[in-house]
Amino acid sequence: MQESNVDLLIIGAGPSGLMCANALAGRGFNIRVVDKRAVGVQAGQADGIQPRTHEILQSYGLMERLLREGVEIHRNAFYNPGPSGGIQRVERTAAISQPTARYPFTMCRHQGGTENFFIDAMRPKGLEVERSTVPTVLELSTSTDSPELLDPQANSVKVVLQHLDRTENDREVVHAKFVLGTDGAHSWVRKAMGIRMEGGHTDFVWGVVDFFPDTNFPDIRARTVIHSTHGSILVVPREGDLVRLYVQLSDMDVVDKQTNRVDKAQASPEKLIETAARILQPYYLRAIGDVQWWTVYIIGQRVAEKFTVQDRILIAGDACHTHSPKAGQGMNASMGDTHNLAWKLAYVLRGWADMSLLRTYEAERRKFAQDLIEFDKEWSTLFSGKPRTDQHQDGVTHEATLGVFKRFGGFSSGIGIRYAPSIIVDSKHQACASKLIVGERMIPHVFIHAADAKPANIHDLLPSDLRFKILVFVADVTTDTGAVPLRKLSERMGVESSFLRRFGHGNHLETFDILCITSAERDKVDYTDVPELFRSHWSKVLVDDVDYSGRCGGGGFAAYGIDPKEGAIVVVRPDGYVGTVAPLDRVEDIDAYFAGFML
C-alpha cells in the first residue's frame, strides 16, 4: 500500500473539521482532510450561527460572505394558549441582549453553505477535501509510555484509509503526527479509540422541516417560541424565504421500541406540517412547493469522557458532544472547539510550545460542553413541557421561558463564554483592566488610527493569524505621563530576557503582533510619537478618541476598565480570548506567562 506522512490528518469535513483546516491552511503545515461523503451537505442540517461565531468568522475574513448569503434574526416572539383555544402573542424581545456583541443578532445559513465558506477559502491555499474516503484502521504506532509521544515531530499515529471511489490501489497508510476526528455524532474515530459518551437520551421526540410557507402567522420571520395545548413549535426564519419549524411530536410512534431510535419511515414532512398547522391555530399554515429538508430525532445529551488520546488523537464537534438543536448551538460549539484547538496544534507543530499546551483544549472545551449540556437539559425540558393553563397549573409559564432566555443569553450567544485559569489564562492583574475579563473574548470597540484618523474596530486588527496580540494601552504620549512609561516599556521589552526575544524565534513579529492605543487627542498626536517597537506599521498605533463625524470611537479605556493615566498591557490569545493583563511596569509577569507554555 502507498504510504505517506502528514502533520495533521482531519477525519470529517463538517464545520468543525473545516474550521481547523482553514485556520492552518497555507501556513506551512502538511494537512489532509478526508470525508466519507461523496458530496457535501446540500440542504438542512445545522443552520444557526450565533454572535460570537460571527466574530470568529470575521477574524478569518468570512463574515462578509455570511452577511451576504445568510439571514439575520433580530427578534424573538413568544406565544402561549389564548382564551379562545388558539394561541396568542405574549411578548416580543430582541433576539440578542448582550451589550458587547459586535453583531447583535443571530444568523441562519444551512450547514452546507457554511462549509463552503471554508472550502472556498482553503482552495487557493492548496487544500481540498478528499471525499469518498474512510479510515479503516487507527492506532498509536508506539506504546503509550514511549518517549516518542513527547516529540511533536514524531509520526506517532498510523491510519489506514480506504478510497471508496477507486477500484485499484484503494487503500493507503498515513503516518500522522496528529489526528483530529470531526466525524459527527456517530464518530468512527471516537469508537475506534474506545472513548465513551457520558449522558443519555430524553423522551422528547421532535421533527424539523425546512419549507416555503403560505401563512398569515405574523411572526413567521422572527425566532418564535410557541406553546399551545396541541404541542410546541420553534419557528426559525431561513435564507431565501425558507422557514424551519421544530415541531414537538406528541407520541412515540416514530420510535423503534427495541432500539429506542427514531424510525423515520413512520413520519413524513406532511405529518410535521399538519401537526404544526394544528398548533398554530387560529392562523393557517401550508407548504408552497416541495419540502427542502426534514428529519425526526430524539433529544440526546451526551459528552465524551475525554477529548484526546495521548494528546495525539483528538476529537471535536459532534464527535464529543450532542444536544438538542433548538438552542442553535451545534455548529457554533463545533466550530468553537477547533477554533480553540487550531492555534495550539500550530504552536506545538512549530516547536514553539510544549505538548502540554494541547491539554488546555480538553480542559477548556470539555468544561464548555458540560455547561452546554446543563443549559440544554433545562432549555429542552422547558420547551417540551406543556404550557400553563387553567386546567394545567403546573405547566410552563412565559416568565419561565423568558427567564431562561435571559439567564443563558451570554452563554447561548457565545459572548459570555469564559475559560478557567490555566497556563494560558492568568488573571493575577485583573484589576488593571477590570472590564476586560481574563478568559473571555476580547471586547470589540472602535478606536481611531493615529496616522490617518480612520476608525477601526479592534476586532478587525486581531485576525486569526496564529499570533498573540500584545495590546499596550498607555496615557497621552504627547506628555511625559504617557511617553516616559512607554519608553521604559520599550526598553524592557527589547532586552534579550524579554518574552519577545525568548519566544520570538528570531523574528518576534511572526509570533507577536504589537498594537499601541493611547489616550492622546486625535489631532495632537502623531503615530511616530511612540517608540519603533510599537509601530512596526503605521496602522499599529491608535487613539481612544471620536472620529471626525462624531459617530464612533472614544471611551475605550472606560469600556475596558483601564485607567487612562496608568495604562495596561493586554495579551490576546490567537483565538481572540484574553490570556492575561498586567500593569505597564510588570513586564516580568508577561514574561512568566509565556514561559509557562512556550519554548
Cα–Cα distances (Å) from 508 to 29, 504, 514, 536, in that order, read: 20, 4, 10, 11
Q: Which residue spans within 500-544 are E strands per DSSP?
A: 512-518, 541-543
316 DSSP 8-state letter = -
- Report domain extents, the chain: 2-70+105-198+302-378, 430-596
Give exposure, 339-376, as e/b (b: 16+ Cβ within 10 Å): bbbbbbbbbbbbebbbbebbbbbbbbbbebbeebbebb
Say whether 119 sits in a helix, a strand or coil.
Answer: helix
Is 325 among the catalytic positions?
yes
Pick the CATH number of 430-596 from 3.40.30.20, 3.40.718.10, 3.40.50.1260, 3.40.50.10860: 3.40.30.20
- For 351-410, how does the pLDDT look when each residue is reduced to its tens digit (9 = 90+)? 999 999 999 999 999 999 998 888 877 777 776 667 766 666 667 777 777 777 777 778
- For 504-547, how does the pLDDT look when each residue is reduced to its tens digit (9 = 90+)? 998 999 999 999 999 999 999 999 999 999 999 999 999 999 99
pLDDT of residue 147: 85
Distance CA 361, CA 359 (A): 5
pLDDT of residue 397: 76
Residue with grid cell 464529543, as numbered in its chain:
320
pLDDT of residue 332: 93
Distance CA 559, CA 576 (A): 17
Q: How many residues does the chain have?
A: 599
Is 238 among the catalytic positions?
yes
pLDDT of residue 1: 84
Which one from 246, 347, 577, 593 is the annotated catalytic residue? Answer: 246
Is 283 among the catalytic positions?
no
pLDDT of residue 249: 82
- For 90-119, how does the pLDDT look when each residue is reduced to its tens digit (9 = 90+)? 999 999 999 999 999 999 999 999 999 999
pLDDT of residue 300: 78
Which one from 15, 81, 213, 325 is the annotated catalytic residue? Answer: 325
Is 593 among the catalytic positions?
no
* CATH number given to 2-70+105-198+302-378: 3.50.50.60
Residue with grid cell 532586552, as numbered in its chain:
495
- CA-derived radius of gyration, the chain: 26
Which one from 238, 312, 535, 573 is the annotated catalytic residue? Answer: 238
**pTM higher than 0.85, yes or no?**
yes
Q: Which residues contact 403 (CB under 8 A, 6 or more apart)?
A: none
- Which residue ranges of the chain lie beneath pLDDT 70? 203, 250-253, 256-260, 325-328, 383-385, 388-394
CB atoms within 10 A of CB 551: 9
Which one from 7, 15, 32, 47 is the annotated catalytic residue? Answer: 47
Host H or E run for residue 367: helix 359-384
